[in-house]
Structure formats: C-alpha cells, structure tokens
Amino acid sequence: MSGAAGAGAAAHAAINEAIKASGAIIRIESSEFSRLISKMDDGLVVEKEGGGFLNGSYKYSTSYKGFIFYCKSREQITIPSRLEKISAKHIWVPQ
C-alpha cells in the first residue's frame, strides 16, 4: 500500500470512528429545523455563520430526543430565547 493510499485509509477509518462516537447526525431542511427548535423547552443550539458576500450561509446543530440534527441555511434562523445559543468557529459533519 502506498503512502497516499495508507493516508486515505487512515482518514476513512478516523471518519468512521467519529461517526460511531457521535451517533447519527440527521441533516434536515432549515424550515424543519426551525419547527424542531420551536418545540424544545430548553436546550442548546450551535450556530456557525459563514461564507462570503455571495455565498453566505449559516449552519446549525442541536440535539433532540437522543438524535443530533444539522441544517444549513442561507437565512439566519431565529433561536427562541429559552434556548441557549453558542457561536462556533466551525461545525464539522462527517460525510
């Protein structure tokens, strides 16, 4: 196995381990994410603002009933004040 192939295999194994450690991450549409957080009595929402002028976007993540939900949106989502919100430098989601 060449060095590049070995590095690729190691990266793939690391991604698989990250998925196992974090559990299922469910990607949903921003409208569904808004609906989901509106039902939450308390909890934490992670927000990452990113992109540039033409391709700006927001990424969000939260946990709900044992699952991790993630969405990407062109528009900022309003987070209810009863939920804690933190801003992240980066949200990484395994592919």
pLDDT, one tens digit per residue, over 56-87 is 799 999 999 989 999 999 999 999 999 999 99
Whether 50 maps to a domain, the answer reads yes
What are 24-48's pLDDT values in tens digits? 789 999 999 999 999 999 999 999 9
Residue 3 burial (10 A CB sphere; 0-12, 13-18, 19+):
exposed
pTM here is 0.74
Give the DSSP H/E element, type plus range, for residue 44: strand 44-50
Whether 3 maps to a domain, the answer reads no
CATH number at residue 92: 3.30.720.90
Whether 52 maps to a domain, the answer reads yes
Domain that holds residue 55: 24-95
Whether 5 maps to a domain, the answer reads no
- Measure the CA–CA gap between 34 and 88, rounded to whole angstroms: 19
Whether 78 maps to a domain, the answer reads yes
50: pLDDT confidence band, cut at 50, 70 and 90?
Answer: confident
Given a contact cutoff of 8 angstroms between Cβ atoms, the answer to whether 91 and 75 are in contact is no
CA distances to 8, 10, 58 from 76, rounded to whole Å, are 36, 36, 6
Whether 84 maps to a domain, the answer reads yes
Whether 49 maps to a domain, the answer reads yes
Q: How many domains does the chain have?
A: 1
